[in-house]
Amino acid sequence: MSVSSSFIVTSNFEKIHPRVDIRPYELGESLPEFDCGKDWFNDFINTAEVECYQRARLGKTRLVYFDGEFAAFFCVSPNSLRDDDYNEEEADGASELYEGPFDMPARLLGHLAVDKQFKDEGLGEYLVKHVLADTLESDTPFRLVILHSQDDVVGFYEKYGFAKAFPNGSGNQHTTLMFYDLGRRTD
């Protein structure tokens, strides 16, 4: 991935980038203990669940090392935003382009978590922008990056241009479906 992409530039890019190493998770790899403060994410990476996820080919897990220490992880997989996932305004725009059922090719960003000891390093912003840049530069013509955000981090993703698919609160009661439209990018 080209680091010259405007997505990945963060306020701390020069300080963060040389200290970050993003590697694919390898089946059977032993990982140090991880604690982001959320049991669901901790259980995913600290148990055999990450192995099962990878073996089932549900997505690719990426491990993030900061100054050589395991600091974060995220998963990506191909997906789509289906016509019944859109809010009314977005559905109107989609129907102007296509008739009938409508799916937008998307990349799902899942399980993004930063260990508590690295929370103030700017890694979350760096990783979101990394995924956006990597998706834009992919050979697969993804139009969107989608994610299922927990309520306490919706504002974090909105800060980087993600929009709620259901701005009035409909959808899953535990997470909020959000998307970033690469086709509407202006920078």
Return the structure tokens found at 185.
């990018």
pLDDT tens profile 116-152: 999 988 999 999 999 999 999 999 889 899 999 988 9
Rounded Cα distance, 107 and 104, in Å: 10
Q: Are 64 and 71 within 8 A, CB to CB?
A: yes
pLDDT tens profile 6-65: 555 556 778 888 999 999 999 999 999 999 999 999 999 999 999 999 999 999 999 999
The kind and range of the H/E element at 111 are strand 103-114
Of 178, 74, 163, the residue nearest 124 (C-alpha):
74
In the structure, what pLDDT confidence band is assigned to residue 4 with cuts at 50, 70 and 90? very low
Domains of the chain, each with CATH number or no CATH = 13-184 (3.40.630.30)
Q: Using the predicted structure, report yes or no on whether residue 95 has a pLDDT greater than 80.
A: no
Q: Using the predicted structure, report yes or no on whether residue 184 has a pLDDT greater than 80.
A: no
